[in-house]
Amino acid sequence: MKNPKKIRRPKSELPFRLNLIFFVVFALLLLLVGQLGYLQILYGSKLQAVVNRTDNTVETNNVQRGVIYDSTGKVLVGNTAHQAISYTKGANVMAQDMFNIANTLGKYLEANDTELSRTDIANYLLADSKNSKYYEKKITNRENLSSKAVQEKEIDYIKNSDVKLSSKEENAARIFKIMNGAYQLSTVYIKETDVSSKELSEIGEHLSEMPGVKISTSWTRSYPEGNDIKSLAGTVSSSKTGLPSDEVNTLLAEGYARNDSVGQSYLEKQYESVLKGTKSQTAIQVSSGGQIVKKVQQYAGKKGDNLVLTINSKFQEEVQKIMKEASKNAGGQSTGGYAVVMNPKTGAVIALAGADRNPSTGKMTDNVLGTINEPIVMGSVVKGAAISGALMDGVITPSNNTLIDEPIKVAGTGSKSSWFNSTGSANMSVDASRALEVSSNSYMMQLAMKEGGFKYSSGASLSGMNPNVFNKLRGYFEQFGLGTKTGIDLPGESSGFKGPTGSANIGKALDLSFGNYDAYTTIQVAQYMSTIANGGYRVAPHVVEQIRSSKQNGKMGAVQKTVSPTVLNQVDMTSAQRKLVTDGLYDVVHGSNKYKTGGPLAGISPGISAKTGTAQTTTNGKTTVTLSLASYAPSNDPQVVVALALPGLSTNAESDNMTAAKKIYAAYWKYVQSKSTLTNPTKATSETAAQNLNSN
């Protein structure tokens, strides 16, 4: 029997292929391990920093603004605390999450003070996935559009369709709008004020159902001494109004959030960096799923520093009342009244009072800042600067300054004269001091012609007068503060109004010389008289005296900064030149000439030096006058300046300005400074005030 043949089977290649796969996998694992080691050794610290930066974030919260006090320590602008409902937007919070929270919160909270646009309604509806799918089906050709384009189409569809929300949905949509405007880990107020006890109770019971919602505290500005101070203090935006649209980019770059409160005007704006304080900071640790796992307060925040003003609130209230009454009693075309009271040596403003009057209805409106932004043609109060300029220009000297007061007649214009000598029957010799005492227009016009290189003769043409005289006169006026910004620490100050110049208007240079052409603010008149009173130093006015911190109990703390007098320029006059001017201002009130203009002021004690003013104006098509006054007291050692203006009065008005001034001085010695602190008020010496300023 033959042996069967052995069957030869093909050799299997599986072990080789399997080994090859194992080898490749092993090699890849080696490469991966090597890469991980490479990254760990060379870039481990950098990558860890990235991880930390991603997982750890800082949450900030607002603090109380600083308080504004008057010079006696009374609170003018404070803070009132309110229980509020806030929302802190977590990390990786989706629109659907906020939609759900808004609907839950809406069951317990009314948010009726938030307006809804059609876009807001669309955003609210589309935040819900069910609604989004429903409206997505309304978009044709959506397969060819990007997700962003589809969303825009959905918003347009809702805006243009007659979609209406129920009252509950509208309330939830308002809440959603506020929440949706928050940044990641930023806090917004859903309702800042007027949260009822019922709302607080119900929300407190359901906080766990609404991640990010909290019962917190908000603050609004309060005015314990009355709302009049608001026109000086300014306003603060709310979280609802947010940052001002014209400054939003700048403020965002400075670290503000869009819903932060910020000073919008005047002191609140000027001193925003002082008043705003420093926000609290809380370190937030977020898990990879976007959940907050740990919160640690790093900085409790610091309440804003406080402002102490130079203004005496009781005196301020009294001066405001005096000016409103003066304008109201004047009646007719009176358009208001403005007054500034300040310390001539330091520039400290003790009162700023202003009120506008509607001539048609007689209605009065507080306008304190009209003192710094309302230019007025003031009249003869400027004559002290006009004579000072002529002395500095050299057209008159302390020993040679006598001229004849006579009507000025030049070709092409009517006769211009002093109030007491319109016909020329009272022609008389006047020196510089007497010209101030009797308020000679003729004297000022002759000075202007001399400064313009023109030799006057009756009937001559002014064509030969140098048009540069406008710049010359204004240059001297500006040295005292007339026609230029005073440097007061408030935004929005006007530099005044200057009329046209040049050869075609050369006759107006004569009007400019006695204050009947350019317009000045009341604060400029106060600075001008202060410059004369203190011996020639133009000092910037200021309404903030100190910046002070807060104690733990909220009371006024330590002094952080005290405002020192800022001298803007010094008027280059000799003591003999200054004496001519100060003697004239003293004689306006105390002189012996029958034409002196300040006689009704002589009864004021201690005695004052002053210059009255009357400007011819037109109001609502009717001929009117502005009565003004610039003064200081006591004459021998000036410690207070009073400047005021009453525009739009009837032409028969005579002493409304002086009546108001007498009341203001009486209030000053009653509420601000005791007369017992003064020496015997006698006629000023030429250097007393300047020496006193240098000693401050």
pLDDT over 70 (residue 50):
no
pLDDT at 44: 63
Number of Cβ within 10 Å of residue 141's Cβ equals: 8
Mean pLDDT over 280-304 rounds to 69
Q: How confident is the model at residue 291 (pLDDT cuts 50, 70, 90)?
A: low
CB 376 within 8 A of CB 521: yes
Mean pLDDT over 651-670 rounds to 94
The answer to whether the pTM exceeds 0.85 is no
Q: Using CA atoms, how far apart are residues 18 and 296, in angstroms rounded to an integer?
A: 56
pLDDT at 369: 92
Position with higher pLDDT, 591 vs 145: 591
Q: How far is CA 274 from CA 266, 455, 544, 664, in A?
A: 13, 57, 12, 33
Mean pLDDT over 90-118 rounds to 89
pLDDT over 50 (residue 684):
no
Position with higher pLDDT, 240 vs 221: 221
pLDDT at 97: 93
Kindly report whether the peptide bond that precedes residue 634 is cis, defined as omega within 30 degrees of 0.
yes
Give the phi and the psi of residue 499 in degrees, each rounded to 5. -75, 170
Token digits of residue 1: 């029997």
Per-residue pLDDT tens over the stretch 482-501: 999 999 999 889 999 999 99
Strands 280-286 and 213-222: unpaired
Helix, strand, or coil here: 436? Answer: helix
Tell me what percent of the residues of the chain surpass a pLDDT of 90: 61
Per-residue pLDDT tens over the stretch 370-422: 999 999 999 999 999 999 999 999 999 999 999 999 999 998 888 999 999 99
**Closest among 207, 256, 198 to 86, alpha carbons compared:** 207
pLDDT over 90 (residue 581):
yes
Contacts of 24 (CB under 8 A, 6+ apart): none
pLDDT over 80 (residue 521):
yes
Contacts of 30 (CB under 8 A, 6+ apart): none
pLDDT over 70 (residue 462):
yes
What DSSP line would sit under 502-542, residue for residue? Answer: SGGGTTHHHHHHTTSSSBB-HHHHHHHHHHHHTTSEEEPPB
Per-residue pLDDT tens over the stretch 169-216: 999 999 999 898 887 777 888 998 899 999 999 999 999 999 989 998
Q: How confident is the model at residue 595 (pLDDT cuts 50, 70, 90)?
A: very high
Judged by average pLDDT, the poorest of 86-95, 249-258, 285-294, 544-553 is 285-294
Place of tokens 């710094």: 372
pLDDT at 410: 92
Tell me what percent of the residues of the chain surpass a pLDDT of 70: 89
pLDDT at 685: 42
Judged by average pLDDT, the poorest of 17-26, 157-166, 543-552 is 17-26
Q: How far is CA 690 from CA 117, 222, 531, 693, in A?
A: 63, 41, 9, 5
Mean pLDDT over 9-14 rounds to 55
Burial class (CB in 10 A: 0-12, 13-18, 19+), 251: middle
Judged by average pLDDT, the poorest of 292-296, 399-403, 447-451, 648-652 is 292-296
Mean pLDDT over 54-79 rounds to 82
Judged by average pLDDT, the poorest of 150-154, 561-565, 661-665 is 150-154
Q: How confident is the model at residue 54 (pLDDT cuts 50, 70, 90)?
A: very low
Place of tokens 């033959």: 2
